[in-house]
Structure 1
């Protein structure tokens, strides 16, 4: 085992790149999540109705409609034809996530993400076991179940228990039962299943993952020849199964992370001290030539 592997995750990146570059996408995500949440709270809290509604459906400055396409899909499954503004709002959202990646919603917008990230941080700090890990396709089954229940009940079923919506409503009207749902998500990730909610169960994440299957924005391991096997990227990635095909690909295989499970959170870019990863587009499949022999080769030669 390499000596660097024993260092705390990200410490080498902080030493070589500086604290900001080793945390920039994490901090930008927190700012983004806070910004979007604040937009919806400006009206109820301060009377500034720049955005009216919730992440399920809103109107910005009284003009721009935005509709969660999963809410629209449930409405259609329930047999309710939405108004034209809802269709336009859903089309705008769909086009945006087709470009930037569906699960960008999960890592840059969803207010539950900081809750699950906090649970994961505490899980690691306490040294808890990985716990029960449902199959990743479980969330697809739950997504299908949500649509089926909507069709059977004639309602937008998921919104009745959606932790995202409940959190927003709770911050406006008082948390009440919403606290219990958010706490259950936190405790599930902390005590039952590490990264279980977002990675294995959430039907919203499943839907946006399908939406972003062919998205333009991608993370690339173009500098994979410089990889020194520190494993920090695997440690911080919320969907670390997506890394290996790009990072360990053979000559001629794409360095792009093409899995729809990737959330484009940028943490692999942050913590890599040798700058293996970078954001790019899905048509950029170039691979950087190594500037010096990678560390693992030098150890092998020894």
Structure 2
């Protein structure tokens, strides 16, 4: 019996909740965000007016996508004070908890790409042409440059996040076609292609995650049995190795900006290697 097998034998069996809790909590969070916008049209009780790009919450709290505010400024216009205030509030929140928390806990497209990844594993589909790792950074630069050169919000006309959210709230059908294309792209052509390699919003919010407090860590990394389950489900598997294997860092914390803090590595690891913690927790077991 190996050391990791001996350790696993001492651990209690995990329940369904323990094996799926972070996935369930993320889906509940995404659904709750959507219901906040749907409560007005459905029930006449307006928790949030607008959409993920810009909204007024509880009739007094403005929230604005900071990437949208940046695009507006690059067009040569100054956003309204409420929009600037809303962008500042959202910016402060994601600087605190982690930029790509937006991707895994709020963005409705995440459920689509997660479904494509799940079906790809179930069908046993292998390979695919994955874009270069820096593609989304170039896409972000292109979005900002296009706003500056054209004086318009070019990205907002094709932004799958905005299109899907508006379609879900207002019943518009165009967004569903775009998102269906993303689903089949991830399923058939490039695993985790959109969120992991193309999405400029993911690139933007990733920049906010460099100093975030909320982190996933691998404090029990010595118990890792190299089963690769965490790599299989992780939307950004390249972030795992430094913390898990101590490559280039002594800390068990996952500090990479691309980590979405989704918690799936915690869910699937029977060795209980991972946990949700904060950036000042440097302990290893």
Which TM class, normalised by the smaller chain length?
Answer: over 0.9
Residue 164 (structure 1) aligns with: 161
The CA distance in 2 between the partners of 1:45 and 1:270, in whole Å, is 34
Deviation at 1:252, TM superposition (A): 7.6
| TM-score normalized with structure 1 length | 0.88
Provide the rounded CA distance (Å) in 2 between the counterparts of 1:127 and 1:233: 17
1 CA distance for matches of 2:221 and 2:172? 46
SS of the residue corresponding to residue 102 of structure 1 reads coil
Count of aligned positions: 279
Residue 251 of structure 1 and its aligned partner are, at CA, apart by 11
Q: Which runs of 4+ in 1 moved over 4 A?
A: none
TM-score of the two chains, using structure 2 as the length reference: 0.93
Change (3 A) 1:187 1:81: same
RMSD after superposition: 2.0
Equivalent of residue 28 in structure 1, options 19, 25, 29: 25
Deviation at 1:129, TM superposition (A): 2.1
Aligned to 2:235: 238
Q: Does the 8 Å CA contact 1:45/1:172 hold for their aligned counterparts?
A: no
Partner residue in 2 for 1:256: 253
Q: Give the whole-Å Cα distance in 1 for the aligned partners of 2:244 and 2:176.
A: 40
| 8 A contact 2:215–2:261 mirrored in 1 | yes
Provide closer, same or farther for how the CA distance between residues 252 and 235 of structure 1 changes in structure 2, counting only shifts above 3 A.
Answer: closer
> Does the 8 A contact of 2:128 with 2:188 survive in 1?
yes
Partner of 1:55: 52
Measured in 2, the distance between the counterparts of 1:219 and 1:40 equals 30
Residue 104 (structure 1) aligns with: 101
* Correspondence for 1:282: 279
CA distance in 1, matches of 2:181, 2:248: 45
The alignment partner of 1:66 has SS state of: strand
Cα deviation code 1:15-59 (max 9, x no counterpart): 821111000000000000011011111112322211101100111
Unaligned runs of 5+ in 2: none
Q: Is the Cα–Cα contact under 8 Å of residues 241 and 247 in structure 2 kept in the other structure?
A: no
